[in-house]
Amino acid sequence: MSEHNPELQAPKVPPPQEAIQPHAPDFVETPDIVSSEGDREPLPVWLYLICGFALFLAGSSFEGFGTFGRDLMDQGPGGPIASASTQAPAAPATPMDLGKAVYGQTCANCHQSTGMGQPGTYPPLAASPFVLGPKDHLLAILLKGLQGPVTVNGNTFGTAVMPAQETVLTSEKLANLATFLRASWGNTADAVTPADVDDAKTQFASKKDSWTADQVLKIPPDAKKP
């Protein structure tokens, strides 16, 4: 009988003869549980090494491969991993590109980046007959320089001397510059080669001073002598 509930009766303990016996149909023997803490086999060291190396690769985003001579580059999420030696080489500069660079360093200060020159002082190169005419006319001016007034498309420009470039620029640079002049600002004349420049040097070798505009216009196309 419980102290708190007088009506509650404690369960009766069955006598030993009434307990479930091992030979009874509903008897289930519970196996003894033996602790296996002392029977665990430690993981091999090589497994720890492999897991550590995999974590290193994941954390370094493959940059660590360079340490091992794989020469791989991380190209960002989702990007391919390619060898540096397989990158596409930059396209070589064209004569127009090279000529533009020479023009910017040598001519743009006077003739401007637009090729329009400066009114009354420096003649334009755009739509200029001295640029679009025979190659020998342009090369004669570039090699030996130009002095005195010059008339371009009905406009007269000063008497400032254009300096000779024969000893300043190589034949290749002069060819690139002439090619750029003849194909920029709406000009559509054919290109000039280093061989053309070398021929012009031979043709005008005896010319010691700068040309005048009248002298240049008198040079016949493909002239063999000045």
* DSSP 8-state symbol, 116: -
**Which CATH number characterizes residue 196's domain?**
1.10.760.10
22 belongs to a structural domain:
no
Give 26-52 pLDDT, tens digit per residue.
555 555 555 555 556 666 777 777 777
pLDDT band at 204 (very low <50, low <70, confident <90, very high): very high
Tell which of 51, 86, 121 closes a domain: 86
Residues 99 and 50 in one domain: no
Whether residue 191 has pLDDT greater than 50: yes
The CA distance from 125 to 184, in Å, is: 9
211 belongs to a structural domain:
yes
Whether residue 99 has pLDDT greater than 90: yes
Whether residue 103 has pLDDT greater than 50: yes
Residues 144 and 199 in one domain: yes
- Contact between 143 and 162 under an 8 Å Cβ cutoff? The reply is no
Residues 137 and 55 in one domain: no
Amino acid 27: pLDDT: 54
Of all helices (H) and strands (E), which one includes residue 211? strand 211-212
Q: Give me the domain span that covers residue 103.
A: 95-217
167 belongs to a structural domain:
yes
Residues 209 and 116 in one domain: yes
34 belongs to a structural domain:
no
The CA distance from 135 to 45, in Å, is: 80
Whether residue 174 has pLDDT greater than 60: yes
Give the residue from 147, 190, 192 showing the smallest Cα distance to 171.
192
222 belongs to a structural domain:
no
Residues 59 and 128 in one domain: no
